[in-house]
Amino acid sequence: MRFGTTRSQIYDAQKTAHAKWDATEDVWNDEVRRGHGETVVEPLDQAVSDALRAIDQLATLFTQIRHECEFPG
């Protein structure tokens, strides 16, 4: 199982979402936006970062499993 492509797609989506959120500040900069950022955007960004770390850990684990389970040819 390869995690690189999926991880890359998730990371790219996170970067794009973050950039678009930052761009809204020019036209939407009030208490409602700040509240939305604190209750929705920041927790979602943290959850995505946590998922990316989990993907990295799984990739490492699967590489180790694959290496340990190989039979000498």
- Angstrom distance (rounded) from CA 73 to CA 59: 24
Q: pTM of the full predicted structure?
A: 0.84
Q: State the Cα–Cα distance between residues 41 and 36, nearest whole angstrom.
A: 7
| Rg of the Cα atoms in the chain | 18
Q: For 55-60, what is the mean pLDDT? A: 94
Under DSSP, the state recorded for 40 is I
Q: How would you classify residue 2: left for phi > 0, otherwise alpha for psi between -120 and 50, otherwise beta?
A: beta
pLDDT tens, residue by residue, 18-36? 999 999 999 999 999 999 9
Share of the chain above pLDDT 70, in %: 95
Question: Which residue ranges make up each domain of the chain?
Answer: 1-9+43-61
